[in-house]
C-alpha cells in the first residue's frame, strides 16, 4: 500500500540519494535521463550528492571532457544530459521547445532565414575544434550584419542547440563556451520517435518512481497525450498502485521499503527530488510550499528529513569556507539537527572547503 511517506522514501531510493549504485557523473545523469541545471553551482551538487566520493572538480571534469553536457533539452530550461543521449533526446524534445518560442521569436524579428544565417556564422566560428563564449559568438554574428542583444542571442543559441549544431565546450573561468556537437561528441545511435518516447519514459519511471503520467508530462515537457503513449509502450515493465485520486507507476522489481529509513539531506536548488513532479505532496506540506517554491518558479535549496521538507538553506562562499544558513519551518529533534550538520559537512567536502553553520 502506498502512503506519502513510502512514496518519499522510494523517491530518495530511486533517485540515488540513498545508497547510490553509481560511480560517475555520466552514469548518474544517464540514469535520470536528464537533470535540471538552471543554477550551475547547485546543479553540480545535485550530481555530487548522489556520488559519495565526488567533488566539485569531479563534476567540472565531466563537463569539460564532454561526458555530460549542459543544454536546453526539456521544457525548455538548462539540463545536464549524458553525451550518448543528447542526439536522440533532443530530436524528441526539440519540436516542443521550438513551438514554445515561436511567438517570441517573431516579436524579436527572428525567422527561418535569419536562423540559417546565424547557424552558418556559428559553425564557421567554431569549426576546427574552436570553443567560443556566447559573447564571442554574438560579436561574430554582429560582424555578419545581424543584430544581437541578450534576448535575440537566447533564441539564436536555442536554435543552434535544438538543431544539434552546438553543445557546451569546456568552462573558461566562470563562463560557458560552445563547441560544435559533431566535433566534440562521437556519433551515437539514433532512435525512432517511438523508440525515443519509450526510452525517455523508461528512464523517468525507473529513476523517479513512484510517479504519475502527469508527473512525466511535466518533467519532460511532452504533451500529456504523448506522455500516455510513451507510458503505454513500457507498461509491461511497470506496476501501478493507486493513492487518493492518482495512479503511480514504478518498476516491477522495485525494492519496496518495510519501514522509513531515517535520513537528512541538504538538496540543491531545482533538485530532481522536488522539481521533477507535478504533484509534490508526498514530500512538501502545502503550508510550506510558498517558502519553498516562488511564484515565478524558483525552487529553493531544501532541507529534507526522512523524505519530508522541513526547511530551506542558503550558502555564502568565502575564500576557504562556506557559511550554511538553514531556515527551518518547524522544530526538529537533536538527532535531526546533528543530521543537518553532517549533511552540511558533506557539502563542504564536495567543495573542498570548511563548513560554518549559522
Longest Cα separation, the chain: 65
pLDDT at 35: 97
Which cell numbers in the block locate residue 295? Answer: 511564484
Average pLDDT rounded to a whole number, residues 64-78: 94
Q: What is the pLDDT of residue 153?
A: 96
- Cα–Cα distance measured from residue 175 to residue 295, given in angstroms and rounded to the nearest whole number: 28
Q: Comparing 102-111, 162-171, 238-247, 248-257, which segment has the lowest mean pLDDT?
A: 248-257
pLDDT band at 297 (very low <50, low <70, confident <90, very high): confident
Helix (H), strand (E), coil (C) string for the chain: CCCHHHHHHHHHHHCCCCCCCCCCHHHHHHHHCCEECCCHHHHHHHHHCCCCCCCHHHHHHHHHHCCEEEEEEECCEEEEEEHHHHHHHHHHHHHHHHHHHHHHHHHCCCCHHHHHHHHHHHHHHHCCCCCEEHHHHHHHHHHCCCCCCHHHHHHHHHHHHHCCCEEECCCECCECEEEEHHHHCCCCCCCCHHHHHHHHHHHHHHHCCCECHHHHHHHHCCCHHHHHHHHHHHHHHEEEEEECCEEEEEECCCCCCCCCCCCEEEECCCCHHHHCCCCCCCCCCHHHHHHHECCCCCECCEEEECCEEEEEEEEEECCCEEEEEEEECCCCCHHHHHHHHHHHHHHHHHHCCEEEEC
Instruction: Say what the pLDDT of residue 256 is.
Output: 81
pLDDT at site 319:
84
Question: What's the mean pLDDT in 263-287?
Answer: 96
pLDDT, tens digit, 9 for 90 and up, residues 111-148: 999 999 999 999 999 999 999 999 999 999 999 999 99
pLDDT of residue 99: 93
- What are 24's three cell numbers? 560517475
Rounded distance between C-alpha atoms, residue 310 and residue 301, angstroms: 11
pLDDT of 353 reads 94
pLDDT at 259: 80
pLDDT for 258 beyond 80: no
The answer to whether residue 105 scores a pLDDT higher than 80 is yes
Q: What is the mean pLDDT of the chain?
A: 95
Residue 100's Cβ-side half-sphere holds a number of Cα atoms within 13 Å equal to 18
Residue range 85-89: mean pLDDT, rounded: 97
d(CA 308, CA 284): 6
Q: 194-249, pLDDT tens digit by residue? A: 999 999 999 999 999 999 999 999 999 999 999 999 999 999 999 999 998 999 99
Whether the predicted pLDDT of 303 surpasses 80: yes
Q: How many CB atoms lie within 10 A of CB 139?
A: 14
Q: 29-184 has which fold?
A: Arc Repressor Mutant, subunit A (1.10.10)
Query: What distance in Å separates the CA atoms of residue 58 and residue 28, rounded to the nearest whole number?
Result: 13
User: Which residue ranges make up each domain of the chain?
Assistant: 29-184, 264-357
- Measured CA to CA, the distance from residue 140 to residue 120 in angstroms comes to 11
- In which residue are the cell numbers 521499503 written? 257
275 backbone dihedrals φ, ψ, rounded to 5°: -75, -20
317: pLDDT confidence band, cut at 50, 70 and 90? confident
Q: Which residues contact 133 (CB under 8 A, 6 or more apart)?
A: 172, 175, 176, 177, 178
Band (188; pLDDT cuts 50, 70, 90): confident
Provide the pLDDT confidence category of residue 358 given band limits of 50, 70 and 90: confident
Tens of pLDDT, residue by residue over 5-23, are: 999 999 999 999 998 999 9
CA–CA dist 285, 67 (Å, integer): 37
Amino acid at each position: 500500500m502506498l502512503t506519502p511517506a513510502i512514496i518519499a522514501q522510494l523517491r530518495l531510493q530511486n533517485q540515488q540519494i540513498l545508497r547510490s549504485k553509481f560511480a560517475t557523473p555520466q552514469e548518474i545523469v544517464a540514469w535520470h535521463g536528464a537533470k535540471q541545471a538552471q543554477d550551475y553551482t547547485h546543479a553540480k551538487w545535485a550530481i555530487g550528492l548522489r556520488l559519495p566520493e565526488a567533488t566539485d572538480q569531479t563534476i567540472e571534469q565531466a563537463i569539460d571532457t564532454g561526458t555530460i553536457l549542459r543544454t536546453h533539452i526539456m521544457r525548455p530550461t538548462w539540463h545536464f544530459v549524458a553525451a550518448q543521449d543528447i542526439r536522440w533526446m533532443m530530436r524528441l524534445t526539440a519540436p516542443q521547445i521550438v513551438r514554445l518560442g515561436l511567438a517570441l521569436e517573431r516579436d524579436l524579428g527572428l525567422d527561418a532565414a535569419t536562423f540559417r544565417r546565424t547557424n552558418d556564422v556559428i559553425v564557421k566560428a567554431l569549426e576546427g575544434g574552436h570553443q567560443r563564449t556566447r559573447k564571442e559568438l554574438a560579436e561574430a554574428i554582429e560582424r555578419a550584419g545581424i543584430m544581437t542583444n541578450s534576448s535575440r542571442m537566447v533564441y539564436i543559441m536555442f536554435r543552434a542547440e535544438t538543431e544539434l549544431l552546438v553543445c557546451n565546450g569546456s568552462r573558461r573561468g566562470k563562463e560557458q563556451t560552445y563547441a560544435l556537437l559533431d566535433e566534440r561528441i562521437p556519433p551515437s545511435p539514433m532512435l525512432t520517435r517511438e523508440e525515443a518516447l519509450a526510452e525517455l519514459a523508461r528512464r523517468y519511471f525507473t529513476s523517479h518512481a513512484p510517479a504519475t503520467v502527469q508527473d512525466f508530462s511535466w518533467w519532460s515537457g511532452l504533451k500529456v497525450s504523448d506522455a500516455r503513449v510513451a507510458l503505454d509502450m513500457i507498461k509491461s515493465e511497470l506496476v501501478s498502485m493507486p493513492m487518493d485520486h492518482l495512479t503511480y507507476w514504478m518498476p516491477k522489481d522495485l525494492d519496496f521499503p518495510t519501514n522509513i529509513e531515517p535520513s537528512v539531506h541538504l538538496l540543491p536548488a531545482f533538485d530532481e527530488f522536488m522539481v521533477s513532479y507535478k504533484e509534490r505532496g508526498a514530500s512538501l506540506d502545502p503550508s510550506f510550499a510558498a517558502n519553498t517554491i516562488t511564484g515565478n518558479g524558483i525552487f529553493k535549496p531544501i532541507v529534507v528529513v526522512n523524505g519530508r521538507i522541513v526547511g530551506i538553506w542558503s550558502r555564502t562562499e568565502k575564500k576557504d569556507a562556506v557559511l550554511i544558513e538553514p531556515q527551518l519551518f518547524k522544530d526538529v529533534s537533536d538527532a535531526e539537527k546533528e543530521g543537518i550538520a553532517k549533511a552540511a559537512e558533506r557539502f563542504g567536502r564536495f567543495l573542498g572547503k570548511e563548513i560554518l553553520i549559522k
